[in-house]
Amino acid sequence: MAVKTSNPDIKKYAIISAIGSNTLIPYTLVVLGKTNSSLLALDKEAESRDLTTAEESEGERLIEKWVSLHRPRFASFVVAWTGSLLAFFTGVQGLRV
């Protein structure tokens, strides 16, 4: 959907927000997908039996990997929210004029 405003700053911030938001799902599926699947499989195993020491170590390794892979995704959240807030407050400020 196009941003319908004549204010170029609002358009710019909205586009930045959209870019940040639209990278989240593909990044999650492509980059985090395999790690998420492996963690869920280990979790399912842990529901029915005690994990071996090797499996517990693998789980810890996967969690550490997930945390490091999540950082760029978190940055996208920050970019999206910042763009949205800037667009909103720019619009609110424009109403007062």
**Of 81, 71, 89, nearest to 20 (Cα)?**
81
* Cα 75 to Cα 44: distance, rounded to the nearest angstrom: 30
User: At residue 89, does pLDDT exceed 80?
Assistant: yes
- Helix, strand, coil % in the chain, rounded to nearest 5: 85, 0, 15
Q: How many CB atoms lie within 10 A of CB 10?
A: 19
**Which pLDDT tens digit goes with each residue over 6-59?**
888 999 999 999 999 999 999 999 999 999 999 999 999 999 999 999 999 999
pTM for the whole thing?
0.72
Q: What angle do CA 74, 77, 81 make, to 5 degrees?
A: 150
Q: Is the pLDDT confidence value at 2 over 70? A: no
Domain ranges of the chain: 9-96
Predicted pLDDT of residue 97: 45
Q: On the CB side of 19, how many CA atoms lie within 13 Å of its CA? A: 10
Check residue 95 and give its pLDDT. Answer: 62
| Banded model confidence at residue 1, pLDDT cuts 50, 70, 90 | very low
